[in-house]
Amino acid sequence: MMHMRPQDILLPVAAGLCCKPGGFHIDPVRPVERAVITHGHSDHARAGHGAVLATQETLDMMRLRYGENFAGSTQAIRYGEEIRQGDVTVTFHPAGHVLGSAQIAVSCKDTCIVASGDYKDARDPTCTPFELVPCDVFITEATFGLPVFRHGDAADEAKKLPAPSRSRRHRPPPISGRGASPTPSPRSPRAGCACVPARDSAASSYRW
Ligand SMILES: [Zn+2]
């Protein structure tokens, strides 16, 4: 089988990491026709793309942050599920960074490249643990590799948070009187939290 050069599969361009044979960008910083998104943080997940492929949790975060029309169409992908586009196969693997975060494996011919997105291998009860993915090229996110970042033990950091209180003075004021209508916030979790199924139209309108 023909061996592909890595730069023929994924190449950094102004809009982001571009997969020319697959016709998509990974975590693009500018609006593109088709975007593959590693996770919901705003420096990776931006609004305005034509079609977005991401985990359901990442799509939910984008919907909550940017609103229902954050992309032309969306498609959810599960960890380990394969999406084929011509000679290119895309699979998502847990990155252990935040809920729904994924490393993106892009395979073409017999060459596999993994773009990590942000990741961590420490235990985190909020997300699926990091998975080691065999590959020919590993493109690692380096932001938090800078020595300036020193992350303490998660359990010790959690102890610094104020303990929940049941005392009266910490209760929210009762809703009563004129003007206290129970109008739900537009950012209500009902609008698109992880427990709400994706819109039926999303998958069917996706252009992969
Ligand atoms: Zn992140």
Please give the distance, rounded to the nearest whole angstrom, from the Cα atom of residue 164 to the centre of ligand 1.
27
Q: Which residue has the tokens 């599920």?
A: 81
Phi, psi of 112 (to 5 degrees): -120, 125
Please give the distance, rounded to the nearest whole angstrom, from the Cα atom of residue 135 to the centre of ligand 1.
22
Please give the distance, rounded to the nearest whole angstrom, from the Cα atom of residue 40 to the centre of ligand 1.
7
Examine the pLDDT at 70 and tell me if it is beyond 90.
Answer: yes
Please give the distance, rounded to the nearest whole angstrom, from the Cα atom of residue 115 to the centre of ligand 1.
13
pLDDT score of 197: 35
The answer for residues whose C-beta is within 8 angstroms of residue 64's C-beta and 6 or more apart is 187, 189, 191, 192, 193
The answer for residues whose C-beta is within 8 angstroms of residue 7's C-beta and 6 or more apart is none
Q: Show contacts of 140-144: CB within 8 Å, 24+ apart.
A: 140/116, 141/116, 141/117, 143/118, 144/118
Please give the distance, rounded to the nearest whole angstrom, from the Cα atom of residue 182 to the centre of ligand 1.
34
Please give the distance, rounded to the nearest whole angstrom, from the Cα atom of residue 97 to the centre of ligand 1.
7
Please give the distance, rounded to the nearest whole angstrom, from the Cα atom of residue 54 to the centre of ligand 1.
14
Task: Give the predicted TM-score (pTM) of the model.
Answer: 0.76
What's the order of all strands across the beta sheet hosting 11-13? 11-13, 16-19, 24-26, 34-36, 49-54, 71-76
Please give the distance, rounded to the nearest whole angstrom, from the Cα atom of residue 129 to the centre of ligand 1.
15
pLDDT score of 40: 98
pLDDT band at 188 (very low <50, low <70, confident <90, very high): very low
Ligand 1 is an ion; its neighbours by CB within 5 Å are: 41, 118
Please give the distance, rounded to the nearest whole angstrom, from the Cα atom of residue 55 to the centre of ligand 1.
14
Residues 10-20, mean pLDDT to the nearest whole number: 96
Please give the distance, rounded to the nearest whole angstrom, from the Cα atom of residue 18 to the centre of ligand 1.
19
Count of CB atoms situated within 10 Å of the CB of 30: 13
Please give the distance, rounded to the nearest whole angstrom, from the Cα atom of residue 168 to the centre of ligand 1.
37
Please give the distance, rounded to the nearest whole angstrom, from the Cα atom of residue 118 to the centre of ligand 1.
5
* Chain mean pLDDT for the chain: 83
Per DSSP, 170 falls in state: G
Please give the distance, rounded to the nearest whole angstrom, from the Cα atom of residue 197 to the centre of ligand 1.
24
pLDDT band at 172 (very low <50, low <70, confident <90, very high): low
Half-sphere exposure of 71 (CA within 13 A, CB side): 35
Count of CB atoms situated within 10 Å of the CB of 198: 15
Examine the pLDDT at 160 and tell me if it is beyond 80.
Answer: yes
